[in-house]
Amino acid sequence: MSHKVCLITGASSGIGEYLAYEYAKLGYRLVLTGRDQKLDAVKNRCNSRFPKILVQPELVDVNDEQGMKEMINRTLSNSELGRLDVVVANAGYASGGPLEKISVDIYRKQMETNVFGVLHTIYPCLDALKKSKGKLALIGSVNSYLSVPTNSAYSMSKYALRALGEAITYELSPKGVSVSMIYPGFVKSVIRLKDNHGNVVEDKKDFAANLAMPTDKAAKQIARAIERRKKEKIITYHGIVAIYLKRYVPWFVRLLFRFQSKSPKNKIL
């Protein structure tokens, strides 16, 4: 087969949606997953811009392990797809709130989607990626390095995802599969407009609207890093600065967080 196929989870909005446009531009056939009918709109936009690109939308939740297996089996048995060259594990959401005001269930659900949902994506794709010497990308967060007050659940899940990515990089490299860990800072997205169950709150304001990088710009940088098989890529200048401070001036970060914790707000990087 001369064509290449890219699978993107969480492709109905935000980074996942704009990565679909980037990979369509690169000539990949697309398999896009999500939980709602917005996927059809993304498919239509892809086809209007790139009419020759095959786009296969799949309504499936990454928390549904069996559903993910069946979807990937359909992809691999489809004569117009039949392979996987790039897999982007992007689906996820962010829970917020101080420890004393959220429950163990919030932490559990956050880990289920942001960590186990990624594993539900990776396992059924492994053989196909090894066959194609393909590329696997895990969309983490700057919160993979900075655990922000009032966002311990989200930060915990992204720390775990970074640990997963670092370990499997060495395991999969000898088999020809690259693993790219992507760490976005504030990017224009609905992630900061959702509640602790992953549902959009219509009247919620994005506190980072003035700082957030345009989604199309972020998607270009992410796609370029994946295609170049970069092991790590931090997206946004403020994200680079934040991780630099955490690594080299940790006392300054602790001081900032001490002040923030006195007046906690939901701040997700």
Encode pLDDT of 110-129 as tens digits: 999 999 999 999 999 999 99
Model confidence band, residue 197 (pLDDT cutoffs 50, 70, 90):
low
Model confidence band, residue 179 (pLDDT cutoffs 50, 70, 90):
very high
Query: Over the stretch 56-84, which tens digit does the pLDDT of each residue have?
Result: 999 999 999 999 999 999 999 999 999 99
Residue 268 lies in a domain: no
**Is pLDDT at 207 greater than 60 in this prediction?**
no
Which of the pair, 75 or 195, is modelled with greater confidence? 75
Residue 267 lies in a domain: no
Number of domains present in the structure of the chain: 1
Residue 243 lies in a domain: yes
**Is pLDDT at 264 greater than 50 in this prediction?**
no
Query: Over the stretch 9-50, which tens digit does the pLDDT of each residue have?
Result: 999 999 999 999 999 999 999 999 999 889 999 999 999 999
CA distance 35 to 191: 14
Q: Which pTM value belongs to this model?
A: 0.89
Cα 267 to chain centroid distance, Å, stands at 18
Q: Active site residue: 28, 93, 154, 159, which one?
A: 154
Give the range of the structural domain holding residue 233, as residue numbers without chain letter.
Answer: 5-262
190: Cβ contacts below 8 Å, ≥ 6 apart: 13, 14, 200
Residue 269 lies in a domain: no
Residue 154 falls in the annotated catalytic set: yes
**Is pLDDT at 132 greater than 60 in this prediction?**
yes
What CATH number does the domain containing 221 carry? 3.40.50.720
Which region among 67-71, 181-185, 220-224, 261-265 has the lowest average model confidence (pLDDT)? 261-265
* Planar angle of CA 182, 183, 188, nearest 5 degrees: 105
Q: In what order do the strands lie in the sheet with 178-184?
A: 55-59, 29-34, 5-8, 86-89, 135-139, 178-184, 232-235
Residue 35 lies in a domain: yes
